[in-house]
């Protein structure tokens, strides 16, 4: 006998009901576990994915710092250390260049960095390090790129390296020991030396051209005003400035907006999941609550009974859900990453107590909100109303058996319960839009897309002898012909180069020359420099680099070259390539004419533009004056034998490994040709690529699953609560086959309309979120294969779920269903 509920026995009644309804409890606990699991896993994996993207970008840079200052003095370094926002100050100072190894020209830059620079700003940005930073004068730490330039594919720590290196004072032959080697994604040809070696070369930290103070901030979100303030505090003098990304603050705001939108999608999807499953369970017990009303239970007591039931469910379900999410995030995912990785990845998934605390509290809050309406219904209905409650609209479906009428009935049924229709469409829309957004971000951050953005060509071949005193024409007509005729090669662009003397041009290059001298880069002062120029003008050269019409068109199409084509190809104009140090000094020379000399040949050019973007092709060596980019025909007028400095090769299909093997075979015996390959960089990024793929696919899949499960829950509730309606339809002549078609048409309607909403509004949302976080102007591309696969799966489920549930309830006979409706 059921006792009359009161303050004393309401808890006992709740416990009795909880024990007596195991099937419902299992369903509810499963729902809560699933919600907690989803929230925990989605948040932890989402944060981990963003951190993995950030880590990959750091490795592409090859360093981890927020700002740099050229040529710092000891006083300036001390001043920066006193600025509150400065967390780390490291020093990077170039001191020498390896020019030759075993007869091979290599041109590898050597630099020294202090302990802070290495431990805090370089080592964390490397993919891996074998060995240690140099401690002795004769030790070197080299990049894999530098070793490959030497022809060393399998380096060993401790191996002996006979090298020739150059400093500002001398050219030295010496044997070094390899203390270690490393790899990152920057593809830099660089090495590190010990402090003793740096001191021996007499290089200076104050060298504006070769030395940097590297700054890491506590808060990297700074603006121009912050930069100016720090420059004043440290006492910087022109041309010293702080080079920092002042756009990071606005980029971070855009990122936070994207994160907020994604979090909102996750929260709404999770809410709908819990709400729908709880609604199914509580509606089943409304008749029980009606029975309690007949024996004197009040509305408040019935609401308390509902919430006590859910409290017990929460005690079991929430911790298990959080545990399941933790096991996925910190167990399965790291194991999967390690199984596909050749290196130790360390902590792969982010952990923060707030993730679990927030997931638990939100799940509990969602349970409470989800139960309020069903609890209110249970407490408000009379005993007779509760006994007859079915949660179905009084509107009945039609009874025609025609195919057209079935379609009309299905269409009417879609919107008969407006709340149900909104929940179904919202569930699928949110889940699929979240999936689409995540997969779009994942696809845009693929290693091949990133490399396509930063590397327009597939392979670059460089003549190593171009920087030597004795230059060799490595790209002979025979070799060029074989490269161009190789199947799969789409385009080949040549960059020719020659040295030219620039006679004293005090009127045109006055500011540039003065800055070069005043900065201490060449002579002690400006007067000594001018004297030397007058005595030895042949020492003050520029490098004239030439491109043909096809190369010009390619650069113009990319937006990197914006000068008049006819004047450029006719040899009338030139583009001066410079760096940040001298860009300001050259700001006023555009439009000026200047003269260059090569032997007995003289040619005049008008300066069409100054380029400091580093996006235009450049020769592998330089001179005192800025490099000139002119037409190939103009170079041919300056010399009878233009040297091909480098060639850029574009494939018909990027990442064509078979073609790359064929091209490498053509130059395999020539150690004086250097190779830079997009495929090689892609292979170096595979560890990060695997990490991003694992995080992104699991995260996107879980978000799509949230929407799909919400649809399944709503349709399950709908089919179960319409049993009496189906029984009536069958009693007046509708066949089982027609009933199956009806519910499948309803499911198809939900699916097709939802996919249409996602294909329009969902794509618009994904595009907007993508562009908010697209500072690099990457193209927006929808990954068609995974999106089409998920769309097909959703449509299939929309068709099958109603059919399966109808078959499940079809086990009850028609008489039983009608009797239940009549209350017999």
Residues 692 and 759 in one domain: yes
List the one residue out of 182, 200, 214 whose CA is nearest residue 115: 214
At how many degrees (to 10) do helices 418-444 and 403-416 cross? Answer: 90
Q: What is the pLDDT of residues 240-282, one digit of tens each?
A: 888 887 766 666 676 677 667 666 766 776 676 667 666 666 6
Average of pLDDT values for 627-640? 92
Q: Please tell me the predicted confidence (pLDDT) of residue 770.
A: 82
Q: Which residue has the higher pLDDT, 588 or 755?
A: 755
The mean predicted confidence, pLDDT, of the chain is: 79
Q: Look at residues 618, 653, 688 and tell me which one is the last residue of a structural domain.
A: 653
- Asked whether residue 673 is domain-assigned, the answer is no
Mean pLDDT of 592-602: 89
pLDDT band per the 50, 70, 90 thresholds, residue 461: very high
Tokens of 48: 């981990």
Whether residue 62 is preceded by a cis peptide bond, meaning omega within 30 degrees of 0, is no
Question: Do 606 and 554 have their domain in common?
Answer: yes
8 A C-beta contact, residue 542 and residue 626: yes
Q: What is the CA radius of gyration of the chain?
A: 36
For residue 659, tell me if it sits in a domain: no
Range of the domain at 222: 67-244
The answer on 193 and 45 residing in a single domain is no
Q: Could you give the CA distance from residue 519 to residue 505 in angstroms, rounded to a whole number? A: 19
pLDDT value of position 572: 94
Burial class of residue 436, CB neighbours in 10 A (0-12, 13-18, 19+): buried
Can you read off the two tokens belonging to residue 280?
A: 């199914």
The domain tally of the chain equals 4
- Nearest in space to 624 (alpha carbons), one of 743, 713, 723, 530: 530
Q: Which of 311, 9, 63 is nearest to 188 (CA)?
A: 63
Least confident of 66-75, 467-476, 679-688, 750-759: 679-688
Record the tokens describing residue 714, joined without a space: 């709503």
Q: Which residues of 542-575 are buried (b: 16+ CB within 10 A; e: fewer)?
A: bbbbbbeeebbebbeeeeebebeeeebbebbbbb
pLDDT at 823: 45
pLDDT at 666: 92
Token digits of residue 798: 């929309």
Task: Based on the fold, state whether residues 153 and 284 are members of the same structural domain.
Answer: no
Residue 96 tokens read as 């020498």
Q: Could you tell me if 568 and 638 lie in one domain?
A: yes
* Across 690-718, average pLDDT: 76
Q: Which residue has the higher pLDDT, 293 or 568?
A: 568
Whether 322 and 428 map to the same domain: the answer is: no
Distance between CA 753 and CA 763 in Å, rounded? 14
Average pLDDT of the residues in 216-244: 86
Q: Is the peptide bond before 239 cis (omega within 30 degrees of 0)?
A: yes
Cα–Cα distance measured from residue 517 to residue 450, given in angstroms and rounded to the nearest whole number: 40
Q: Rounded distance, CA 605 to CA 174, Å?
A: 44
More confident residue, 720 or 502: 502
Predicted local confidence at residue 382, as pLDDT: 60
Say if 672 falls within a structural domain.
Answer: no
Provide mean pLDDT across the span 141-156.
88
Confidence at residue 337, expressed as pLDDT on a 0 to 100 scale: 52
- Alpha-carbon distance of 730 to 734, in angstroms, equals 5
In the prediction, which pLDDT does 612 show?
82
Give domain status of residue 615, yes or no: yes
Is residue 660 one of the residues assigned to a domain?
A: no
Q: Among candidates 273, 279, 281, which has minimal Cα distance to 23?
A: 281
Measured distance CA(781)–CA(774) in Å, rounded = 12
> Cα(307)–Cα(369) distance, rounded to whole angstroms?
10
Q: Which of 389, 415, 430 is the last residue of a domain?
A: 389
Check residue 13 and give its pLDDT: 61
pTM over 0.85: no
Q: Which residue has the higher pLDDT, 711 or 279?
A: 711
Residue 51 lies in a domain: yes
% pLDDT > 70, the chain: 78
- Which residues sit opposite 542 in a β-bridge? 500
Which range is least confidently modeled, 131-145, 212-226, 702-716? Answer: 702-716
675 domain-assigned: no
Note the pLDDT tens digit of each residue in 311-328.
777 888 888 888 887 777
pLDDT tens sequence across 638-695? 998 889 999 999 999 989 999 999 999 999 888 788 888 888 888 877 766 776 777 7
Give the pLDDT score at 286. Answer: 66
Residue 379 is predicted with a pLDDT of 63
pLDDT digits (tens, 9 = 90+) for 521-547: 455 567 777 777 777 777 788 899 999
What residues does 130 pair with on adjacent strands?
181
Closest CA to 95 of 14, 201, 247: 201
Top-confidence residue, 210 or 81: 81
Q: Check residue 813 and give its pLDDT.
A: 47
Do 592 and 609 lie in one domain? The reply is yes
Residues 71 and 53 in one domain: no
Residues 468 and 613 in one domain: yes
Give the mean model confidence (pLDDT) for residues 349-362.
Answer: 73
Per-residue pLDDT band at 742 (split at 50, 70, 90): confident
Alpha helices in 82-140, H assignment, sequence order = 115-116
CA atoms within 13 A on the CB side of 153: 1
Which of these three, 212, 244, 276, is where a domain ends?
244
* Cα–Cα distance for residue pair 721/351, rounded to 1 Å: 42
Assign 139 a pLDDT band (cuts: 50, 70, 90). very high
**Is residue 232 a part of any domain in this protein?**
yes
Check whether residue 303 and residue 204 sit in a common domain: no
Specify the 3-state DSSP secondary structure of 765: helix
598 and 537 in a common domain: yes
| Mean predicted confidence (pLDDT) in 753-763 | 91
Lowest-confidence region among 7-21, 277-291, 582-596: 7-21
Q: Categorize the per-residue pLDDT at 340 as very low, low, confident or very high, splitting at 50, 70 and 90.
A: very low
pLDDT in tens, 470-496: 788 999 999 999 999 999 999 999 999
Examine the domain organization and report whether 411 and 267 are in the same domain. Answer: no
| Residue 319, pLDDT score | 87
Confidence of residue 291 (pLDDT cuts 50, 70, 90): low
């Amino acid at each position: 006998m059921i006792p009359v509920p009161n303050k004393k026995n309401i808890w006992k009644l709740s416990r009795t009901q909880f024990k007596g309804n195991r099937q419902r409890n299992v369903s509810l606990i499963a729902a809560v576990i699933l919600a907690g699991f989803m929230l925990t896993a989605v948040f932890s994996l989402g944060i981990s994915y963003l951190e993995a993207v950030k880590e990959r970008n750091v490795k592409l840079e090859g360093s981890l710092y927020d700002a740099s200052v050229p040529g710092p003095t000891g006083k300036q370094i001390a001043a920066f250390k006193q600025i509150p926002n400065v967390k780390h100050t490291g020093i990077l100072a170039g001191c020498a260049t390896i020019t030759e190894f075993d007869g091979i020209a290599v041109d590898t830059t050597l630099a020294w960095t202090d302990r802070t620079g290495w431990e805090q700003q370089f080592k964390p940005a490397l993919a891996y390090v074998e060995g240690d930073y140099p401690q002795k004068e004769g030790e070197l730490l080299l990049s894999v790129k530098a070793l490959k330039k030497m022809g060393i594919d399998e380096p060993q720590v401790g191996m002996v390296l006979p090298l020739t290196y150059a400093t500002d004072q001398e050219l030295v032959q010496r044997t070094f020991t390899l203390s270690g080697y490393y790899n990152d994604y920057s593809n830099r040809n660089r090495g590190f030396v010990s402090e003793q070696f740096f001191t021996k070369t007499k290089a200076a930290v104050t060298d504006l051209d070769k030395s940097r103070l590297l700054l890491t901030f506590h808060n990297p979100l700074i603006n121009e005003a912050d930069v100016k303030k720090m420059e004043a505090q440290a006492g910087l003098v022109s041309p010293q400035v702080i080079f920092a990304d002042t756009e990071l603050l606005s980029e971070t705001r855009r990122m936070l907006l994207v994160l907020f939108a994604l979090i909102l999608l996750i929260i709404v999807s999770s809410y709908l999941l819990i709400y729908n499953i709880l609604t199914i369970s509580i509606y089943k017990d409304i008749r029980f609550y009606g029975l309690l009303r007949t024996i004197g239970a009040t509305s408040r007591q019935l609401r308390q009974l509902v919430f006590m039931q859910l409290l017990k469910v929460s005690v079991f379900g929430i911790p298990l859900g959080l545990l399941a999410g933790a096991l996925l995030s910190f167990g399965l995912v790291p194991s999967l990453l390690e199984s596909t990785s050749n290196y130790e990845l360390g902590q792969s998934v982010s952990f923060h107590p707030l993730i679990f605390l927030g997931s638990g509290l939100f799940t509990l809050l969602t349970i409470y909100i989800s139960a309020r309406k069903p609890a209110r219904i249970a407490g408000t209905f009379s005993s007779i109303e509760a006994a007859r409650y079915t949660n179905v609209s009084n509107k009945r479906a039609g009874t025609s058996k025609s195919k057209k009428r079935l379609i009309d009935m299905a269409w009417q049924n879609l919107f008969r319960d407006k709340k149900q229709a909104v929940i179904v469409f919202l569930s699928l829309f949110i889940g699929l839009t979240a999936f689409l957004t995540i997969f779009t971000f994942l696809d845009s951050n693929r290693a091949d897309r990133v490399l396509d953005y930063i590397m327009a060509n597939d392979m670059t071949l460089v003549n190593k002898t171009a920087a030597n005193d004795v230059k060799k024409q490595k790209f002979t007509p025979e070799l060029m012909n074989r490269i161009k005729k190789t199947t799969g090669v789409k385009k080949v662009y040549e960059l020719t180069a020659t040295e030219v003397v620039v006679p004293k041009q005090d009127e045109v290059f006055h500011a540039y020359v003065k800055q070069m001298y005043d900065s201490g880069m060449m002579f002690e002062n400006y007067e000594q420099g001018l004297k030397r120029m007058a005595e030895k003008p042949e020492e003050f050269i520029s490098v004239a680099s030439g491109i043909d019409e096809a190369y010009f068109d390619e650069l113009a199409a990319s937006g990197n070259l914006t000068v008049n084509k006819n004047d450029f190809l006719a040899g009338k104009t030139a583009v001066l390539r410079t760096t940040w140090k001298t860009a300001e000094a050259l700001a006023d020379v555009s439009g000026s004419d200047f003269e260059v000399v090569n032997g007995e040949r003289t040619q005049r050019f008008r300066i069409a533009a100054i380029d400091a973007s580093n996006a235009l092709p450049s020769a592998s060596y330089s001179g005192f004056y800025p490099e000139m980019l002119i037409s190939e025909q103009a170079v041919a007028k300056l010399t009878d034998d233009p040297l091909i400095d480098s060639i850029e090769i574009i494939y018909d299909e990027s990442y064509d490994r078979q073609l790359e093997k064929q091209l490498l075979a053509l130059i395999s015996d020539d150690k004086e040709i250097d190779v830079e390959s997009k495929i090689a960089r892609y292979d170096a990024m595979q560890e990060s690529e695997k990490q991003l793929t694992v995080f992104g696919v699991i995260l996107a899949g879980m978000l799509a699953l949230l929407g799909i499960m919400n649809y399944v829950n709503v349709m399950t509730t709908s089919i179960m609560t319409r049993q009496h309606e189906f029984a009536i339809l069958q009693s007046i002549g509708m066949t089982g086959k027609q009933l199956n078609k009806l519910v499948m048409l309803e499911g198809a309607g939900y699916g097709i309309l939802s996919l249409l909403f996602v294909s329009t509004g969902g794509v618009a949302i994904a595009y907007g979120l993508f562009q908010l976080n697209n500072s690099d102007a990457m193209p927006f591309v929808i990954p068609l294969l995974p999106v089409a696969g998920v769309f097909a799966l959703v449509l299939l489920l929309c068709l099958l779920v109603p059919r399966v549930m109808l078959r499940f309830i079809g086990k009850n006979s028609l008489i039983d269903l009608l009797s239940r409706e009549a209350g017999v």
